[in-house]
Amino acid sequence: MCKNKAVAQDLLQETFVKIWQKADSFDPAKGKFYTWAYRIARNLTLNELRNPSPLIQTEDLSVYKERAEAEELSIDNLKLNGSIQKLESHHQKALELVYFQGLTHREAHEEMNVPLGTFKSYIQQALKKLRESYQLALFSGWLLIEQML
């Protein structure tokens, strides 16, 4: 009945739990245990098929409703990448290890073979320089737009 293996496994688990919880309501005079358990499993499966889980995404929840937003983000990424390229090589490497490769500071300082305190200062300095150069690039962009108007 159910074509999804994971859902079928969940339904089987729910069936056994429900059988266990409702065991006192089973009446051997009304029918066999097998039939009673089968009906519980069948009803749970049909309910699941009728009312699919609300956790499954059925509609497009795209972050970018319009192409212009995606292009704007792309321009921001280019500016950010350009700002990163202007940093010193050890600052670039520190940012890459922590923010792009997902290493902890402790793992990254060992990778760069520098003391932990020095590595943390690399990150702090890099972020400060990045923030300054990125804000300068944004400010320059706004000035250019102002002049066009």
140 inside domain: yes
List, for residues 58-115, the tens digit of each pLDDT value.
Answer: 555 555 555 555 555 555 566 666 677 788 888 888 888 888 788 888 888 998 999 9
70 inside domain: no
Identify whether residues 39 and 88 lie together within a single domain.
no
Distance CA 132, CA 130 (A): 5
- Domain range enclosing 11: 5-50
Burial readout 71-81 (b: 16 or more C-beta within 10 A, e: otherwise): eeeeeeeebee
Identify whether residues 92 and 35 lie together within a single domain.
no
CA distances from 18 to 14, 108, 139 (A): 6, 50, 63
State mean pLDDT over 25-35. Answer: 90
Say whether pTM exceeds 0.75: no
Tokens of 56: 């499954």
Domain count for the chain: 2
List, for residues 41-52, the tens digit of each pLDDT value.
Answer: 999 988 888 876
- The mean predicted confidence, pLDDT, of the chain is 78
Tokens of 41: 């499993």
Tokens of 149: 């108007």
Residue 13's pLDDT is what? 93
